[in-house]
Amino acid sequence: MQESKEKRKLPREFYTRHDILVIARELLGKLLVVPAADGSRVSGFIVETEAYIAPEDKASHAYNFRRTQRNESSYSIGGAVYVFFIYGMYFQFNVVTNVIDVPHVVLIRALEPFEGVEIMRERRKTANDKNLTSGPGKLCIALGIDRNLNNEDLLGEKIWIEESDFKVSGKNVMSGKRIGIDYAEEFAEKPWRFWVKDNLFVSRR
């Protein structure tokens, strides 16, 4: 049992590929898992992603290879976790891709809840299950993702991503401009946001 679970964890080679747009699309339907304090699983299927492609991308924290204490983990090897704090209240969870010192990251913007839904309800304090994980800040609250997970490895035991039976066919992958980056000039228009067509948990429809 343990062994078959391990086999479903995405391997390093999934993340270290160079084409981040392929990875951002392929992450749709994969299962993001964070164990709770009692060891039970809290998880959801990824249904919305965005690619941030530094050094060219003016929307990226690592634009022009800007390198600070805050964004340092985005320079780690593919498969690392980049978590940052935003708007004084929220965290955002990103998957680092490519090789060391290439700061490509995929922001996970929405999940469809799967395991540990009762724990998510307690953490989110919302009456409506549609609000549990339908946004980048919401899903971090629901899964308990905060700065403690920054620069963790998705091949470790604190947080990881698994293969799943939630299959997303090519015709169900939609793309469009990214959210909340109007300042990024010509990069604001790039169609680097991906989502599962008609999925209820996508943050904006």
Partner DNA sequence: CGCAGGATGGGCT
Partner DNA sequence: GCCCATCCTGCGG
Strands (E), the chain: 31-35, 41-53, 81-86, 90-97, 104-113, 160-162, 173-176, 193-196
**Which of 8, 55 has the CB closer to DNA?**
55
CB 91 within 8 A of CB 143: no
List b or e across 25-39, with b for residues whose CB sees 16 or more CB atoms inside 10 angstroms. Answer: bbbbbbbbbbbeeee
**Considering the complex, what minimum distance in angstroms separates the CB of residue 7 from DNA?**
29
- Give me the residues that bind DNA (CB under 7 A), please: 50, 52, 59-62, 66, 68-71, 74, 85-90, 92, 94, 105, 107, 124, 126, 131, 135-139, 178-181, 183, 203
**Which of 141, 168 has the CB closer to DNA?**
141
Measured between alpha carbons, how far is 15 from 126 in angstroms, rounded to an integer?
Answer: 34
**Considering the complex, what minimum distance in angstroms separates the CB of residue 170 from DNA?**
25
**Which of 38, 122 has the CB closer to DNA?**
122
**Considering the complex, what minimum distance in angstroms separates the CB of residue 24 from DNA?**
11
CB 174 within 8 A of CB 197: yes
**Which of 90, 166 has the CB closer to DNA?**
90
